[in-house]
Structure 1
Amino acid sequence: MTKYLISFPSDAMVVADGELPAVADAAHAVVAQAKAAGVWVFGGGIDESVPPVLVDGDGTVTEGTYPQTRRIEGGYTVLDVPSRAQALEWAAKIATACRCAQEVREFAYDPES
């Protein structure tokens, strides 16, 4: 099986006032389906109120991040599925629940993970 990252940036999800509970319920239903199917690895949203930090090999902590990743935000799901086609099917379910398009990326195979 292959792991896939399915994600979206925060500003892609535009929800009308009062509809967020319905979106959350729909998203949680997809999570439950993925868990029941045995493909769920991880999911969650970045807490954008907590600033990122860089941790160096010697343990030094510096506020900020790499310039190219300063805008990592939004929601992330990692699924372990047998095919790209199945990853795209799950991405469509998540897109419907979250009411926004999803980006799909494949993790490189690592026999140790």
Structure 2
Amino acid sequence: MDASPEASAQQAHPLETSDRDLVDGLLAATTPSDDQLVDAARLLIRYDGFPGAVALKADLEKVIKLWKLSRDQLNARVQQLWAAGYRPGQGGSLESPAVGSGFDASDSESPA
């Protein structure tokens, strides 16, 4: 087994496939919604320093350039959103997996 140093340096992130769909949606947004701003900031943090997902990281950088934002400006806007009471899915869409596992605790049995 002769693994090249280049191949071993690149890792596959376990969420890369699902995150790719999100990033593709972000690339299509010319004017980002609050949810999209938060998603972009969250994904930039997730992949920062990760040794892999090169194409996904490059597309995230394209997203913020498309939106005419720097990473610092994006982070400042997202911090303002959270400070103003933003919570994921508050716009009525519960399809975004931004926070949590998606597990619906209301379907589980609770101890009596």
TM-score (norm 1): 0.29
The structure that is helix-richer by fraction is: 2
Give the alignment's TM-score, normalised by structure 2: 0.29
Structure with the largest fraction of strand: 1
Structure with larger Rg: 2
